[in-house]
Amino acid sequence: MPRLPVVVLISGGGTNLQAIIDAAQKDLPVEIKAVISNKPGAYGLERARKADIAVATLDHRQFPDRESFDQALAELIDSYQPRLVLLAGFMRILTPGFVRRYHGRMLNIHPSLLPDFQGLHTHQRALEAEVEEHGASIHFVTEELDGGPVILQARVPVLSGDDAQTLAARVLEKEHIIYPLAVRWFAQGRLSLNDRDQVVLDGKIRSTPVQLEQVAID
């Protein structure tokens, strides 16, 4: 199977990037063409370098507004000709025009069971809401922040004595499983977004996200 060309956008440490790199070095049929960060010192860039992946930095602070940054970012992404763009801890709110440009071929991972806890500080907010379950979601990116159609989720219990750090660590373990899995489905041609912004998996419209416990993982 030919490898799907992918570009990954990061802002920080890149642990989800590492999970995808590791999977690609085994049997995930993708080729990471480049890792791009809006922060020059992001450790994820070092992860990419260690894997001999091209890296680029586009510092958003060097641009007067979101539109000009997003235009430059799109031109940089397109220079690598990816068929899929992955947001992996990319801490930028994207403009509508940018999102439309990659409609149906841009995924994001969010550390909550969407639509719960959109935005930041999800683990602390989950604890304050006293929910019994928390988790992570993979979704297609649309113009609504963290509001795109959800593909896949993984759940973890919220334990007595949890703080934001312990809960985050438990969720992160699941993130490293579900992101490569969703990317695999896309690369295999099993996953798409239709013109009504509905998730299509194996030829069927999904009205609800797939739950990790429903999936047989080799």
Confidence of residue 217 (pLDDT cuts 50, 70, 90): low
pTM to 2 decimals? 0.96
Enter the DSSP assignment of 103.
T
Mind listing the pLDDT tens digit for each residue in 84-138?
999 999 999 999 999 999 999 999 999 999 999 999 999 999 999 999 999 999 9
Does residue 216 have a pLDDT over 80?
no
- CATH number belonging to the domain at 4-214, selected among 3.40.50.170, 1.10.274.10, 3.90.950.10, 3.40.50.300: 3.40.50.170
Nearest CA to 122 out of 136, 138, 111, 130 is that of: 111
**Secondary structure (DSSP) of 41-54:** T-HHHHHHHHTT-E
Q: State yes or no: is 134 an active-site residue.
A: no
Active-site annotation holder among 110, 123, 139, 176: 110
Indicate the domain borders of the chain: 4-214
